Amino acid sequence: MTHKKFKTLKEFYPFYLSEHRNLTSRILHFIGTGLVVLLFATAILFHNFQFLLAIPVVGYGFAWIGHYFFEKNKPATFQYPMFSLASDFMLFWDLLSGQQPFRVDDKK
């Protein structure tokens, strides 16, 4: 399956959201990104940069479980690593601020 080649984050984000419609997957992404933020803050606060080593494992671990077991799709990380990373934080903020719901209504 071929996807449109995205040139900007603004173009990419709607596609990203379409690949993250499952409630459990969104919760896993939210938890993973939240833990990434906490790990980064902990590393800086305690001057223990070993916490930084856990960031990719925690961040990608939660997200990929969501994709493989709940979304049943391939993470966009492989094709658009920077857009995907930025979109993870955008989704995290959108969920936290209520701009995106955790539960997506698939009825059209």
State the burial class of residue 8 (Cβ atoms within 10 Å of its Cβ: 0-12, 13-18, 19+).
exposed
pLDDT score at 108? 41
Is the Cα torsion angle 89, 29, 91, 81 positive or negative in sign?
positive
- Does residue 54 contact residue 39 with C-beta atoms inside 8 Å? yes
In a domain, 90, yes or no: yes
Quote the pLDDT of residue 1: 45
Q: Is residue 60 part of a domain?
A: yes
How far is CA 72 from its chain centroid? Answer: 15
User: Which residues constitute the domain of residue 77?
Assistant: 30-97
Question: Considering the domain boundaries, does residue 45 fall inside one?
Answer: yes
What is the reported pLDDT for 8?
97
Q: Is residue 81 part of a domain?
A: yes
Question: What is the chain's pLDDT, residue by residue, as a tens digit (108 residues)?
Answer: 446 799 999 999 999 999 999 999 999 999 999 999 999 999 999 999 999 999 999 999 999 999 999 999 999 999 999 999 999 999 999 999 999 999 887 654
CA dist., res. 87 & res. 105, Å (int): 20
Give the pTM: 0.89
Provide Rg for the chain, Cα atoms. 14
Query: Considering only CA atoms, which of 102, 30, 18 is closest in space to residue 65?
Result: 30
